[in-house]
A and B are shown apart, each in its own frame.
Chain A
Amino acid sequence: MATLSAASASQQHAADVNVLVRRQRSLWGDALYRLKRNRAAMAGLAVVLVAAVLAILAPVIAPYDPIRQDTPNSLMEPFWGNPKFTLQQYPLGSDQLGRDILSRLIWSARISLVVGFVPVTLVFLIGATVGMAAGFYGRWVDNLLMRLVDVIYAFPDLLFLIIIMATLRGTILGNLLGGLVLMFVAIAVVGWVGMARLVRGQVLSLKEKEFVEAARATGATNRRIMFRHLFPNTLAPIIVSVAFGVPSAILAEATLSFLGIGIKPPTPTWGVMINEGFVVFSTTPWPVLLPAFCISLVMLAFTFLGDGLRDALDPRQRAR
C-alpha cells in the first residue's frame, strides 16, 4: 500500500514538474540517456570510434607498408620539424629502420583494439560462467572455484602476465600471429578471476530475492533461473567491468611489448614502437613520443567511457 501510493505520488510529481513529460524508460534506456549527457564519456566514445575506423581501414589509409624498411631515409623528422617537407616523404617521419611512423601508428591501433576486445570477451565467458556456477550452486563448487580464484587474485596482474608471456613465448602458441594469440590467452587467464568474483557476489545476493523464489515456484529449471532470471540482473556491473577491462588489456599489451616480452617485432604496436625507438630516444624523440601519445589518448578515452558507463548504469556508485 505504502509503495503503491509512493509510486503514484512520484508519477504525479513527475507529471507536474516535467513539462516535457519523458516517456517511462527501461533501465537501459535510462542509462543510455544518462550516458549521452556525459560529455567526457561521449568524447571518449568519439576517440574510440575514430581509432576503430582507423584500425579497420588500416590497409586502405596507411600511406606505406608499416614494416617496409627504407634505411637510406631513416630517422626523418616529422613534417613540422622538416622545412623541406614534401608530400612524397613520411608525414610523421621514419624510425631508425626507415619505416613510416604514421603507417605504423595506424596499424598499431589495430593490434591495440583487438587486444582490448578479444581477451575481454574470453574473460567474460570464463568469468561469468565460473562466477555463476560458484554463486548458484554454492558448497563445494563454490569452495573449489573460489580457492583457485584466491590464489590467482593474490598475485599482481602484471607479474603473472610477465611470467606467462616470458615462459611461453618460445612455444608454438607464442608464435601464432606474432605472439598475439598468447597475449589473448595470458590476459584472459589473469583477468577472468575478477569477473568471477564480481558475478559470484551478485548471484549470491540475487538468488535470495523473491523473483528467484517466484521463478522456482512456477517450476523453472536451474538453467532457466540462471540464464533468464539471474544473468540479466548481473549485466549492468558486468558491462562496467568489461568497459574497464578493455583499457587494462590495452595497457597490459603496451607494457609487455615495451618490456620486450609482448608482441614480437616487426608487428607494429605502440609498445613495440616505444621499445624499439628508445635506443635513439635522446637524439630523435619522435618515434617514441608519438606512440606514447597514442596510448595515452586511447587509455584516457576508454577510461572516460568506462566512468560514464558506470555512472549511467549505477548512479549510486558514482565516484564523485
Chain B
Amino acid sequence: MLVCVLGYNSRSMLKYTIRRLLLMVPTLFFVALITFSLAHAAPGGPFDKNENKRLPQQIEDNLTRYYGLDEPLPQQFLLYLRNAARLDFGTSIQRNRSVNEIIAQGLPVTVQLGVQALLLALLVALPLGIVSALKQNSGVDYGSLFLATIGTTIPSFVIAILFIYIFGVWLRLLPFVGWGDGLDVRRMIMPTVILALPGAAFLTRITRASMLEALGQDYVRTARGKGLREGTVIVRHALKNALIPVATIVGPATAGLITGSFIIETLFSIPGIGRLYIISINARDYPIIMATTLLYAFLIVIANLSVDLVYGVLDPRIKVGS
C-alpha cells in the first residue's frame, strides 16, 4: 500500500519536474528578449566610449561587421539565441576574450563568496531563531529582533561602509580591498559577513515564527503529555516541522546573494561576476551583459524549482503540481 502511494507520488513528481524544466525555456527566452531589447535600445555603441579619441571610420565599420552589429536587430537576436543554445556567448567587446572564459574566471569567486555567506547566515540564524522562539521576550529574543531590524532595513552598502570605516580605517584590523587567491581568510571576513547579514536577518525571523507555530501544535502537546523529555520534544517534534518553511528561503536567498554581490564586490573590489556585471553595463559590453543576465536568471529559476521540489518531499501535505 505504502509502496503504491510512494510510486504514484514519485511518478507525478517526475512529471511535475519535467514540466517545470520545460517552462524554464520560455522564461529564459523572455529574459533574453528583454535584456537584448533594452541593451540595444540604448543610444551609443561599444566603440564610442572615448569622445576625444574616436576610432577611424574604417576600423569601426570593420569591428561592427565583425561583431555582427550591422545586421538587423531581429537577425542579431536569432543568431544570438542559436549560439547561446550551444553555450557560445560570443566574445567580449571590451576585453577581446571569449565571454565564457571571462565568466569562468569570475564565477568561482562569486560562488565562493555566496556559499560562505549562505552558510554563515544559516549558522547564525537557525540557532538564534530557535532560541528566540523558545525564550520569547528574553534578552536573546530582543537581540535577534534588533539584528533582524538592522539587517532588513539598513541598506547593505551603508553597513559595509560602517564596517570598512570601523575595522578597516579606524582599527586597521582587516583589509578591505580585493580578494587575493580565495584563501586569505582576513580579506574574506568583511565581505562575507556583510553579504550574509540581510539573509541572516530574514532567516532568523522566519525560523522564530515557524518554531513558535510548531510549538503551539497539538502534536507537541501530545509529545509533552506522554512525558517525553523537553529536549526530545523540541528537537524531534517541533524543530523538525519548524524547519520546513525555512527551506523555502533558498529561492529568495539566491536572488539576494546575486543582487548583494553587485554591491559587495563593487565596494570591496572583488573580481567576481557581480563586479564584472556592473563594469560591463557601464561599458556597454553587450555579450557579457547578456550572458551574465541569462546566467542569473537560470540560477534563480533553478533555485525556485528546487525549493518547490524539496518542499514537496519535506512536507507531504503540500501537493506538488497543483
| Residue A235 CB within 8 A of the other chain | no
| Distance between A174 CB and nearest chain B CB, rounded to angstroms | 9
Q: Quick check: is A159 within 8 A (CB to CB) of the other chain?
A: yes
A171 lies within 8 A of B154 (CB) = no
Q: How does the 8 Å CB contact mask read for B140-179 relative to A, with 1 for contact and 0 for none?
A: 0000010001001111011001101100110000000000
The answer on a CB contact under 8 Å between A281 and B157 is no
User: How many B residues touch the partner, as a band?
Assistant: 35 or more
Contact assessment for B27 and A159 in the assembled complex, using a CB-CB cutoff below 8 Å: no
A236 proximal to B (CB < 8 A)? no
Indicate if the CB atoms of A170 and B300 lie closer than 8 Å: no
Which among A54-62, A64-72, A296-304 touches the partner chain?
A296-304
Which of A28-36, A79-87, A253-261 forms contacts with chain B? A253-261
Q: Interface code A153-167, partner B: CB below 8 Å = 1, 0 otherwise?
A: 011111100111011
Cα distance, A260 to B34, chains bound together (Å): 22
> Are A167 and B259 touching (Cβ within 8 A)?
no
Pick the contact of B161 from A150, A168, A255, A288 — CB < 8 Å?
A288
In the complex, chain B residues whose CB is within 8 Å of the CB of A272: none
Selected from B145, B205, B209, B259, the residue in CB contact (under 8 A) with A159 is B259
Partner of A164, one of B38, B168, B205, B300: B38
Q: Choose among A156, A159, A163, A251 the residue that contacts B155 (Cβ–Cβ < 8 A).
A: A251
- Contact assessment for A156 and B300 in the assembled complex, using a CB-CB cutoff below 8 Å: yes
Chain B residues contacting A171 (CB-CB under 8 Å) are: 41-43
Contact (Cβ within 8 A) A254 B281: no
Q: In the complex the two chains form, is B278's CB within 8 Å of A159's CB?
A: no
- B contact face: mostly helix, strand, loop, or mixed: helix
Known A-B contacts A163-B35, A171-B42, A295-B155; A155 and B281 likewise in contact (beta carbons under 8 Å): no
Q: How far is the CA of A37 from the CA of B38 in the complex (A)?
A: 48
CA distance A261 to B31 in the complex (A): 21
Nearest-Cβ distance from residue A143 to partner chain B, whole angstroms: 14
CA distance in complex: A260, B165 (Å): 21
Complex alpha-carbon distance, A15 and B293, angstroms: 63
| Residue in contact with A156 in the complex, picked from B34, B259, B278, CB distance below 8 Å | B259
In the bound complex, residues from chain A placing their C-beta under 8 Å from that of B30 are: 151
Complex Cα spacing A259 to B274, Å? 12
Complex: chain A residue closest to B137, CB-CB? A320
Whether, in the assembled complex, A218 has its beta carbon less than 8 Å from a beta carbon of chain B, the answer is no
**B165-A255 in contact (CB<8A):** no
User: Counting CB contacts under 8 A, is A274 at the interface?
Assistant: yes
Q: Which residues of B contact A151 (CB under 8 A)?
A: 27, 30-31
By a beta-carbon cutoff of 8 Å, the part of chain A in contact with chain B is 150-151, 154-159, 162-164, 166-171, 247, 251, 254-255, 258-261, 274, 278, 281-282, 285, 288-289, 292, 295-296, 299-300, 303, 319-320
